[in-house]
């Protein structure tokens, strides 16, 4: 009886391990595909950016990767839709970043 129980446990453990390895490989595939898409977006967007804007984007990507991804997606979309006909300068990139920032709430403090 205990041999059968041990065999069942062992089979179940092997099944779970196979399932986990499959899920991990799928996650890695999705991650690789996402990285490729990001690289394509960056390539498209960087072609329309000035040297200073590319440097600023690199700094932003190092400090705030999510914000950099959002910015590059907006730029690539504008290029693909034909809304962007001129080079993105550093100043224009700064303005885009400011527009991406959510408005800050102001708090007024009153003394009693």
Whichever domain contains 9, its CATH number is: 1.10.8.140
Q: What is the pLDDT of residue 3?
A: 83
pTM of this structure: 0.66
Q: How far is CA 29 from CA 32, 73, 104, in A?
A: 5, 21, 38
Across the range 67-75, mean pLDDT stands at: 90
Q: What is the pLDDT of residue 20?
A: 87
pLDDT band at 59 (very low <50, low <70, confident <90, very high): very high
Task: Tell me which of 8-12, 89-93, 108-112 is least confident.
Answer: 108-112
Structurally, the chain folds into a number of domains equal to 1
Range of the domain at 33: 2-98
Q: Is residue 110 situated within a structural domain?
A: no
- H/E stretch holding 85: none
């Amino acid at each position: 009886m205990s041999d059968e129980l041990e065999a069942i446990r062992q089979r179940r453990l092997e099944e779970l391990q196979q399932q986990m390895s499959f899920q991990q490989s799928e996650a890695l595939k999705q991650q690789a595909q996402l990285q490729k898409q990001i690289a394509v977006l960056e390539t498209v967007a960087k072609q329309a950016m000035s040297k200073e804007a590319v440097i600023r984007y690199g700094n932003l990507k190092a400090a705030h990767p999510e914000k950099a991804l959002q910015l590059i997606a907006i730029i690539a979309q504008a290029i693909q839709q034909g809304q962007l006909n001129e080079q993105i300068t550093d100043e224009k990139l700064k303005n885009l970043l400011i527009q991406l920032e959510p408005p800050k709430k102001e708090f007024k403090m009153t003394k009693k």
